[in-house]
A and B are shown apart, each in its own frame.
Chain A
Amino acid sequence: MIAIFMLFLKIFAGAIFLALVVTLALLFDGADRIVHAKMQRRFGPPLLQPVYDILKLLGKENIVPRRASRFFFRAAPWMALVSTLMVFLYIPSGPFPAVLGTEGDMVLIVYLLAMSGLMMAVGGFASGNPIANIGAGREITLMMSYEFPLAIVICTMAWTAYRLGMPGAPFSLETFTAVSVWKAVGKTGTFGLLCLFLSLVMVIPGETGKGPMDIPEAKTEILDGLIIEYSGANLALFKVTFALRSFAMAAFMTSLFVPFSLAGLLGSGGLLVAVFDFLFFWVKVFAVQMVFVTLMRTAFGRLKIWQASRFYVLKAAGLSVAGMILLSIDVMIR
C-alpha cells in the first residue's frame, strides 16, 4: 500500500518538477539570448522569445522528407527530449532530493545525456539529407571525444568520495550536494579538483552544442546540420531539447562542484529556509549557465570538428587525467 502511495507521490512530484524544469530551461534560454545580445551590444529578443518560438513551431506544418526513414525521423525528437528530461529526475535540487535519486546516479545521467545526443544524431541520419548526415557524423565524433574526459571526471569524483568516506553512495549526486567536495580534500586535492572542474567546463560546450563546439549545428557551414530537415512540432521538440541540455549540464555542474547552500547562513530547519535554498539552487544553476555557456559562446568562434576532437582527446582529457593524479596523491598522502 505504502509502495503504491510512494509511486503515485513520485509520479506527481516528477510531473510537477519536470514542468518546472522545462519552464525554467526556456526562461534561462531567453535570458541566455538577452545576455548574449547585450555582450554584443545588441538589444536582443524578449525574455519569452524561446516560448514564442516553441508556440509558433507547434502551429506549423510538420514535414517529413520523402527520403527520410519515417519511424526514426519522427521518434528521434521524442526520444531526445525524453532522455534529456529524465536527467532531471536524478539531479537533486537544493534541499530536496532527486525524484528518483535512489534509483539512479551520475553514470545514468551521463548515459541519458549521451542517449539524447545519440538520438539527435539518429534524427539527422534518418532525414536522408547529406548535410544532416554530416551534422550527425560530427555529433557522434564530438560525443566520442568529450565522453572520455567526462568519464574521467565522474569516476575520479566518485573514487575520491569513496576513499574520503563522504557519506552516501559514491556515484550519487546527493553525496556531493550534501558535503562540499572542496572542503573534503586537502591542498593537492584542491588543485586536482580545479583541474577536473576546468575539464568539465571544457566539456560543457560540447555537451550543450554551443559556443566553440556548435559544430554539429554549424549554421554558416552546414545550415543547422542535423536539424536541417526538421520543422513544426518536431523542431519545437529539438529546440526544447537544446535548451534542456544546456540547463541539465549547468545543473549537473552546480550539483557536483558548486554545492554551497544558504542553509548555513539562514540556520537549518524550517520550510522557509528550504524554499530559499531551493530557489538559491536555481540561481546557482543560472549563474553557471551564464558563465560557462553564454560567456563561452560569446567569446569564441567555432572550431572545426577535428580541432574540437583533438582539443577534447588531448587537452581536456589531459587536464582531467592530471586532476585524477593530483586527487589520487591527495587521497594517498592523508
Chain B
Amino acid sequence: MSTTYTVPIGPVHVGLKEPVTAWLDLEGERIVGAKIRPGAIHRGIEFMARERNPIQVIYLSERICGICSFSHVIAFIRAIEDLAGLKVPPRAQYIRTLVLELERVHSHLLWAGVACYTIGFDSAFHLGMQMRERVMDVLELLTGNRVNYGVATFGGVRWDVTPELAKAMREMIRYYRREFTPFREIVMADPVAQARMRNVGVLTRDEAVRYSAVGPTARASGLRVDLRKSSPYEAYADIPVEPVVPQDYFGAAHGDVLDRFAVRVLEVYQSLDIMDAALDGLPEGPYVAEPNVNKVLASLKKAEGTGWGIIEAPRGDDTHIVSLKGGDDNVFWWKVRAPTYANAVSWPLMFRGNELADAPLIINSIDPCISCMERMMVTDGGGDPLIVTKTELLERCRRKTFDLGSGIRTKGAGTGGLEGGTTK
C-alpha cells in the first residue's frame, strides 16, 4: 500500500459541527500527514465593533460563538471594566458565575453527545441532547433565550435570580446528579466506546505544554491548569475550584479522547457543585452598579486605555483585549483569542498514527469552535491572499523593531512592519 490518497474532512462534514478542513494523507486507512485549513467562517466581527459603542458590542461579542457566547461576553465586559475601573456588585458576580457554569454544563453536554454521535453511538447522542434540554430550559427561564442570553452588562447583569429561578436551578442540579451518572456509565463502560476513544488522538503532557493547549484539552493531558483556580474572577474567589485532571480519578493521564471525555464529564459534576455553592452564598444587594445605560456610556466615552479580560470558558482560556480612545463613542480596537485557537495547533500531533475513522473524533475532541477561532484573515486588499511564513513575519518584526530603535524611518524598502500583509 504505497498509494497515498488525499481526503478532505470538511469544510462541510456530517461529523463536524463547524466548517474547518483537514486534508488527510492516507495510506489505506492510516493517516500519514494532516493539514488543517481553516478560513471558511471568518466574519470580521472586530471590524464591525469599530462602528459600534461598547454597549452594542456586548451583543456583538455574544455572536462570536453560539454555545460559549456568555464566556465571550464576560471576557469582553471584564476587559472594559478593567480599563474603565467599573465596580461590579457581589450579587452580580455570583449571577455571572451561575450563568458561566450553566453554560459550561450546556457546552459539555453538547460535546459529550456529539462525541458519541461521531463514533456512531447515536443512542447516547440522543440521550445527551435530551439532557441538555433541561439546562437550556433554566437558561431560558433566567434570560428568555436558549443561546445568546443577553444577560450581562457593564457593572453587573440585566436579570436577577429570583427565588423561583433558584428553585428551578436546584431542581435542575438534582436532575443532573440523578440522570447524568447513567449516561456517563453507559458511555464510559461501553466496550465499543472504549475501543474507539482509548489511545486515540493522544497529546502527551509535554506536548500539551509545548503547544500551549488550554482548558479540558490540557487537563486531559494531565496539566493542572484552570483559570478559575489560578486567577479567580467573579465569584470563583469565594468558591474553591480544583482543576479536574484524569490522574486524580483514574490513576494516570493518557491524554487521549477518552480522557478528554472523562474530564468534560467530571467537570459537569464540578459545575453542579459550584452552582450549588453559588446559590447558597448568593449575596443580597443590587445586581447592577448603574442601571442607566446612558450614564454608563457617557462614562465609557471618557475612558481611555487598554483592558484585559481572561476567563476559563468551557473550552479553555478565552482572552479579550479591548482598547478605548477618550472622546470616541466606539470601540477603538478589540482582540479576541478563543481557546480553539490555542488548541487547534495540537491537531496535527493528535492525528499521528491514527486512522481515517478517528479523524472526525479527533477534530471534535478539542471541542473546536471555529467561528470563535477565526479572528484573522490575511489579505492583500485586492482579494489575493498573501501568506506570510513565520520566518518572514519574524524577520519583518525584527526589522521594524530595529527601525524603531534606531529612530531612522527610511521610506520604501525597509519600513517593514506588517505592511503588505495587513493584519486586522
Which A residues fall within an 8 A CB radius of B? 39-42, 130-131, 133-134, 137-138, 212, 214-215, 218-223, 298-307
Contact A302-B119, Cβ < 8 Å, known A40-B127, A220-B360: yes
User: Are B192 and A130 closer than 8 Å at their CB atoms?
Assistant: no
One of B7-15, B40-48, B160-168 contacting the partner: B7-15
Interface of B is mostly: helix
| Neighbouring B residues of A306 by C-beta, 8 Å | 29, 355
Q: CA of A137 to CA of B26 in the docked complex: distance in angstroms?
A: 13
| Neighbouring B residues of A39 by C-beta, 8 Å | 123
Which B residues fall within an 8 A CB radius of A? 5-7, 13-15, 26, 28-29, 116-124, 126-127, 130, 190, 192-193, 195-196, 355-360
User: Are B5 and A301 closer than 8 Å at their CB atoms?
Assistant: no
> Apart from A137-B28, A220-B118, what are 7 other A-B pairs with CB-CB below 8 Å?
A40-B122, A133-B5, A220-B119, A300-B121, A302-B192, A303-B196, A306-B29
Q: Contact partner of B15 among A42, A133, A138, A220, CB < 8 A?
A: A220
Pull 5 A–B residue pairs with CB atoms less than 8 Å apart, ordered by A: A130-B5, A219-B14, A221-B360, A223-B13, A303-B192
Q: CA of A39 to CA of B121 in the docked complex: distance in angstroms?
A: 13
Q: Which partner residue on chain A sits nearest B193 by CB separation?
A: A301
User: Are A134 and B29 closer than 8 Å at their CB atoms?
Assistant: yes
**Which 6 A-B residue pairs are closest in the complex by CB-CB distance?**
A302-B120, A301-B121, A220-B15, A40-B126, A301-B192, A301-B119
Write the nearest CB–CB distance from B312 to chain A, whole angstroms.
29
User: Are A302 and B15 closer than 8 Å at their CB atoms?
Assistant: no
Q: CA of A204 to CA of B116 in the docked complex: distance in angstroms?
A: 23
Write the nearest CB–CB distance from A219 to chain B, whole angstroms.
5
Q: CA of A223 to CA of B16 in the docked complex: distance in angstroms?
A: 11
User: Are B355 and A214 closer than 8 Å at their CB atoms?
Assistant: no
User: Are B120 and A304 closer than 8 Å at their CB atoms?
Assistant: no
Q: CA of A196 to CA of B5 in the docked complex: distance in angstroms?
A: 40
User: Are A301 and B357 closer than 8 Å at their CB atoms?
Assistant: no
| Neighbouring B residues of A218 by C-beta, 8 Å | 120, 357
Q: Contact partner of A304 among B14, B121, B123, B195, CB < 8 A?
A: B195
Q: Which partner residue on chain A sits nearest B119 by CB separation?
A: A301
| Neighbouring B residues of A220 by C-beta, 8 Å | 14-15, 117-120, 360
Q: Give the interface centre of B13, B118, B357 by most chain A CB atoms within 10 Å.
A: B357
| Neighbouring A residues of B6 by C-beta, 8 Å | 130
Q: Which partner residue on chain A sits nearest B116 by CB separation?
A: A301
User: Are B192 and A212 closer than 8 Å at their CB atoms?
Assistant: yes
| Neighbouring B residues of A307 by C-beta, 8 Å | 195
Q: CA of A130 to CA of B119 in the docked complex: distance in angstroms?
A: 21
| Neighbouring B residues of A131 by C-beta, 8 Å | 7
| Neighbouring A residues of B116 by C-beta, 8 Å | 301
User: Are A301 and B13 closer than 8 Å at their CB atoms?
Assistant: no
Q: Contact partner of A42 among B26, B120, B126, CB < 8 A?
A: B126
Write the nearest CB–CB distance from A213 to chain B, whole angstroms.
10
User: Are A221 and B356 closer than 8 Å at their CB atoms?
Assistant: yes
User: Are A299 and B123 closer than 8 Å at their CB atoms?
Assistant: yes
Contact A304-B358, Cβ < 8 Å, known A130-B5, A218-B120: yes
| Neighbouring A residues of B130 by C-beta, 8 Å | 41
Contact A301-B356, Cβ < 8 Å, known A134-B7, A220-B118: no
User: Are B7 and A40 closer than 8 Å at their CB atoms?
Assistant: no
Q: Contact partner of A305 among B5, B29, B117, B193, CB < 8 A?
A: B29
Q: CA of A220 to CA of B358 in the docked complex: distance in angstroms?
A: 10
Q: CA of A222 to CA of B359 in the docked complex: distance in angstroms?
A: 10
Write the nearest CB–CB distance from A304 to chain B, whole angstroms.
5
| Neighbouring A residues of B121 by C-beta, 8 Å | 300-302
Contact A301-B126, Cβ < 8 Å, known A134-B26, A220-B15, A221-B356: no
| Neighbouring B residues of A40 by C-beta, 8 Å | 122-123, 126-127
User: Are B14 and A301 closer than 8 Å at their CB atoms?
Assistant: no
Q: CA of A189 to CA of B348 in the docked complex: distance in angstroms?
A: 54
| Neighbouring B residues of A304 by C-beta, 8 Å | 29, 195-196, 355, 357-358
| Neighbouring B residues of A214 by C-beta, 8 Å | 120
Write the nearest CB–CB distance from A149 to chain B, whole angstroms.
19
Q: Give the interface centre of A131, A134, A212, A222 by most chain B CB atoms within 10 Å.
A: A222
Q: Give the interface centre of B26, B116, B196 by most chain A CB atoms within 10 Å.
A: B196
| Neighbouring A residues of B119 by C-beta, 8 Å | 220, 301-302
| Neighbouring B residues of A134 by C-beta, 8 Å | 5, 7, 26, 29, 356
User: Are A301 and B127 closer than 8 Å at their CB atoms?
Assistant: no
| Neighbouring A residues of B118 by C-beta, 8 Å | 220
Q: Give the interface centre of A138, A212, A300, A307 by most chain B CB atoms within 10 Å.
A: A300
Q: CA of A302 to CA of B117 in the docked complex: distance in angstroms?
A: 10
User: Are B356 and A222 closer than 8 Å at their CB atoms?
Assistant: yes
Q: CA of A222 to CA of B192 in the docked complex: distance in angstroms?
A: 19
Write the nearest CB–CB distance from A210 to chain B, whole angstroms.
10
Q: Which partner residue on chain A sits nearest B118 by CB separation?
A: A220
Q: CA of A301 to CA of B360 in the docked complex: distance in angstroms?
A: 15
User: Are B29 and A41 closer than 8 Å at their CB atoms?
Assistant: no
| Neighbouring B residues of A41 by C-beta, 8 Å | 126-127, 130
| Neighbouring A residues of B357 by C-beta, 8 Å | 215, 218, 221, 302, 304-305
| Neighbouring A residues of B15 by C-beta, 8 Å | 219-221
Write the nearest CB–CB distance from B212 to chain A, whole angstroms.
29
Q: Give the interface centre of A215, A299, A301 by most chain B CB atoms within 10 Å.
A: A301
Write the nearest CB–CB distance from A306 to chain B, whole angstroms.
7
User: Are A302 and B360 closer than 8 Å at their CB atoms?
Assistant: no
Q: CA of A134 to CA of B24 in the docked complex: distance in angstroms?
A: 13
Q: Contact partner of A303 among B5, B124, B195, B359, CB < 8 A?
A: B195
Write the nearest CB–CB distance from A228 to chain B, whole angstroms.
11
User: Are B359 and A221 closer than 8 Å at their CB atoms?
Assistant: yes
Q: CA of A299 to CA of B121 in the docked complex: distance in angstroms?
A: 8
| Neighbouring A residues of B120 by C-beta, 8 Å | 212, 214, 218-220, 301-302
